[in-house]
């Protein structure tokens, strides 16, 4: 068990570093430190404190780029204590062994998150000495403890105190694995961000397609071991990449989440993020069975539920506003498996927590990242479908243009249709989904399925289609159920026939020029 007599502290994140150093000092551990960390510890009156420059007998240089890159630091970390030759070398060169290294890295991620960050700023925020010390200490894990997170400070101090100044091999091995994971992630983040930048003469593949990486590097720590996957005979787990969304949501109440809960929650959250007005969405097996806007969140929820209260039983709910008491009182009337929202009032949480089986999640909104799917032998990746329809520039294809109420209904239906599985058809009124036909092998069948599912009247509704109508039959079928307007991408070789049918039926038809397949 390595005895901790000397520690090197050099941290960018100085959270609780003074407390950690003071506790180590009280355990008779000598502290060696660098630059800003040294000044913080010195100002705090930490005893037995030495600056790295005193150990190396060489000043920091190159604006701080060179501090710890020195044999008297690297040797003190890398020397194997059981190797007589190593220890003789330390003695011959008067190099003090270093038994604990507490280092965290320049916050490259913060700078990299700025889309307009200049290359020079990115380069200056690439840590060199930090990863070197971390890797050296982790390589020599049997003799040196490497601490990369303030969350480990308390347990380290407690174990040193209880272990008579030593740490167990199990602890140092666990710390080493965490350290290698940290540096690997750091290098990946640097490589990924720099791959987005093109300089004069750069002809790399990443320059030709800056939004898609030349190398797909998927790395995400496991957050949850799930009971099973889509079915009980399948194993499953949740992995996170740290970006805002369902995977990083905070669960405030309810039993553990299942694989299917998470898939449905993600579908619900993606849909609800389309809306600016107060809105509610109800999802069943990734398909919307209700979605509506309203003057209040409670009103939007009541309108969403009207569309299909039968399918909503056991469904997933999502909201784009703080859930208030009135909305919560409506929610608990239904057996919902999970609820996602950006926030909840104290009253709403009290009401929802009375339902033991309701999983309640607080979700942080954020920009969607790369969409990745696995296929046999590899992965598919694409940029997210973040297209927003603007009324200006859309082409009215028929003699009759939509009225204002129809426009509002068409724009709403288009947002929902984007989140329905292809072939996708959505019937809607202004601010309210009426029904959807999803996943059929022909578009006219989706039109029929949506009509068959409708509980509310279809007379006077509009229809959205995620891709063009290949023939007039889909429009003619929808017209039989009383629709007044259609929104679709257009682009079929039969567009003229489809438009002619719409004119004959006195329907308004809008071409968006944009397709929203969702497979």
**pLDDT per residue as tens digits for the range 237-267:** 999 987 899 999 999 999 999 999 999 999 9
- Same domain for 189 and 243, yes or no, is no
Pairwise CA distance, residues 52 & 72, whole Å = 9
Q: pLDDT category, 205, cuts 50, 70, 90?
A: very low
Residue 229 forms part of a structural domain: no
Q: What pLDDT was estimated at residue 301?
A: 97
170, 129 in Cβ contact below 8 A?
no
Residues 240 and 334 in one domain: yes
Q: Region 150-163: what's the mean pLDDT?
A: 88
Q: Does residue 333 carry a catalytic annotation?
A: no
Residue 519: pLDDT above 80? yes
Instruction: Flag the least confident range among 24-28, 289-293, 315-319.
Output: 24-28
Q: Among residues 14, 86, 139, 253, which one is catalytic?
A: 139
Mean pLDDT of 309-333: 95
User: What is the domain count for the chain?
Assistant: 3
In this structure, the answer to whether residues 21 and 136 fall within a common structural domain is yes
Catalytic residue of the set 14, 86, 253, 285: 285
> 152: which DSSP letter?
G
Mean per-residue pLDDT for 307-334? 95
Co-location of 349 and 418 in the same domain = no
Q: What is the pLDDT of residue 226?
A: 93
**DSSP tag of 394:** P
Tell me the C-alpha distance between 119 and 127, whole Å: 15
Residue 356 belongs to a domain with what CATH number? 3.40.140.20
What band does 206 get if pLDDT is binned at 50, 70 and 90? very low
- Quick check: bond before 423 cis, omega within 30? yes
Q: Are residues 447 and 351 in the same domain?
A: no
Residue where a domain stops, chosen among 194, 227, 250? 194
CATH number at residue 18: 3.40.50.1380
| 209: helix, strand or coil | coil
Query: CA-CA distances (angstroms) from residue 474 to 464, 468, 500, 518?
Result: 11, 10, 13, 19
36-80 pLDDT, tens digit per residue, is: 888 888 888 887 788 776 676 566 656 556 666 677 777 888 888
CA distances to 119, 188, 206, 516 from 209, in Å: 18, 19, 5, 22
Q: Which of 143, 168, 194 is the endpoint of a domain?
A: 194
Residue 202 within any structural domain of the chain: no
Is the residue at 205 inside a domain?
A: no
Q: Are 268 and 318 in contact (CB under 8 A)?
A: yes
Q: Are residues 356 and 403 in the same domain?
A: no
Together in a domain, 262 and 157: no
pLDDT at position 76, please?
Answer: 84
Q: Are residues 446 and 324 in the same domain?
A: no
pLDDT mean over 490-518: 96
Over residues 460-480, the mean pLDDT reads 96
Q: Are 274 and 373 in contact (CB under 8 A)?
A: no
> Across residues 159-176, what is the average pLDDT?
88
| Residue 17 DSSP one-character state | H
Same domain for 357 and 443, yes or no, is: no
Q: What's the pTM? A: 0.73
pLDDT computed for residue 320 by the predictor: 96
> Does residue 10 belong to any structural domain of this protein?
yes
* 13 vs 361, residue with greater confidence: 361
Most confident of 124-138, 207-221, 469-483: 469-483
- Give the model's pLDDT for residue 364: 93
Q: Does residue 308 register a pLDDT over 90?
A: yes
pLDDT at 117: 77
pLDDT of residue 56: 65
Is 355 in the same domain as 417? no
One domain for residues 34 and 138: yes
343 within domain boundaries:
yes
Residue 12 domain flag: yes
- For residue 255, give its domain range: 235-362
Final residue in a domain of this structure, among 315, 341, 362: 362
CA distance 183 to 71: 21
Please name the residues in contact with 314: beta carbons below 8 A apart, sequence gap of 6 or more. Answer: 284, 335, 336, 337
Residue 285 designated active-site: yes
Higher pLDDT, 302 or 107: 302
> Does any domain span residue 206?
no
- Domain annotation covers residue 315: yes
**Average pLDDT over every residue of 139-150:** 90
Residues 273 and 351 occupy one common structural domain = yes
pLDDT at residue 1 greater than cutoff 70: no
pLDDT at 236: 95
Asked whether the predicted pLDDT for residue 123 surpasses 90, the reply is no
Q: Please report the pLDDT score of residue 108 as a whole number.
A: 75
Region 286-293 average pLDDT: 95
- The residue behind tokens 């509002």 is 408
**What is residue 88's predicted lDDT score, i.e. its pLDDT?**
85
């Amino acid at each position: 068990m390595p005895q901790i007599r000397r520690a090197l502290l050099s941290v960018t994140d100085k959270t609780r570093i003074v407390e950690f150093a003071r506790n180590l000092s009280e355990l008779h551990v000598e502290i060696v430190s660098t630059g800003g960390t040294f000044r913080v510890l010195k100002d705090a009156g930490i005893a037995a404190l030495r600056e790295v420059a005193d150990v190396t007998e060489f000043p920091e240089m190159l604006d701080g780029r060179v501090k710890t890159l020195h044999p008297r630091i690297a040797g003190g970390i890398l020397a194997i204590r059981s190797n007589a030759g190593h220890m003789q070398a330390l003695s011959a060169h008067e190099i003090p062994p270093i038994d604990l290294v507490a280092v965290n890295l320049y916050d490259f991620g913060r700078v990299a998150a700025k889309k307009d960050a200049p290359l020079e700023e990115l380069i200056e925020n690439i840590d060199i000495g930090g990863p070197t010390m971390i890797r050296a200490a982790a390589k020599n894990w049997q003799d040196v403890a490497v601490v990369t997170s303030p969350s480990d400070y308390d347990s380290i101090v407690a174990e040193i105190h209880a272990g008579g100044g030593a740490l167990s091999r199990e602890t140092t091995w666990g710390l080493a694995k965490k350290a290698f994971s940290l540096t690997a992630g750091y290098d990946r983040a640097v490589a990924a961000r720099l791959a987005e930048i093109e300089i004069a003469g750069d002809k790399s593949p990443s320059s030709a397609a800056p939004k898609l990486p030349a190398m797909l590097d998927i790395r995400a720590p496991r957050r949850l071991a799930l009971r099973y996957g889509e079915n009980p005979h399948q194993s499953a787990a949740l992995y996170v990449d740290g970006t805002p969304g369902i995977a990083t949501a905070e669960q405030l109440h309810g039993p553990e989440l299942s694989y299917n809960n998470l898939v449905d929650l993600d579908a619900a959250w993606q849909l609800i993020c389309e809306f600016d007005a107060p809105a509610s969405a109800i999802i069943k097996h990734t398909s919307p069975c209700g979605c509506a806007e309203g003057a209040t969140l409670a009103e939007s929820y009541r309108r969403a539920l009207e569309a299909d209260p039968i399918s909503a039983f056991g469904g997933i709910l999502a909201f784009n506003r703080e859930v208030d008491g009135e909305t919560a009182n409506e929610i608990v009337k239904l057996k919902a498996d999970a609820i996602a929202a950006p926030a909840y009032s104290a009253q709403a949480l009290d009401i929802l927590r009375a339902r033991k089986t309701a999983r309640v999640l607080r979700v942080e909104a954020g920009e969607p990242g790369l969409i990745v799917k696995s296929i046999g032998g590899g992965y598919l990746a694409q940029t997210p479908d973040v297209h927003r329809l603007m009324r200006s520039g859309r082409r009215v294809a028929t003699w009759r243009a939509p009225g204002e109420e129809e426009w509002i209904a068409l724009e709403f239906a288009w947002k929902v249709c984007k989140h329905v599985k292809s072939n996708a058809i959505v019937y809607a009124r202004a601010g309210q989904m009426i029904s959807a036909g999803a996943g059929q092998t022909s578009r006219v069948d989706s039109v029929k399925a949506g009509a068959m599912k409708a509980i509310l009247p279809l007379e006077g509704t509009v229809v959205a289609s995620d891709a063009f109508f290949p023939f007039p039959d889909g429009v003619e079928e929808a017209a039989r159920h009383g629709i007044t307007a259609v929104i679709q991408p257009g682009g079929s070789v039969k567009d003229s026939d489809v438009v002619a049918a719409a004119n004959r039926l006195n329907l308004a038809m809008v071409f968006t020029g944009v397709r929203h397949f969702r497979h």
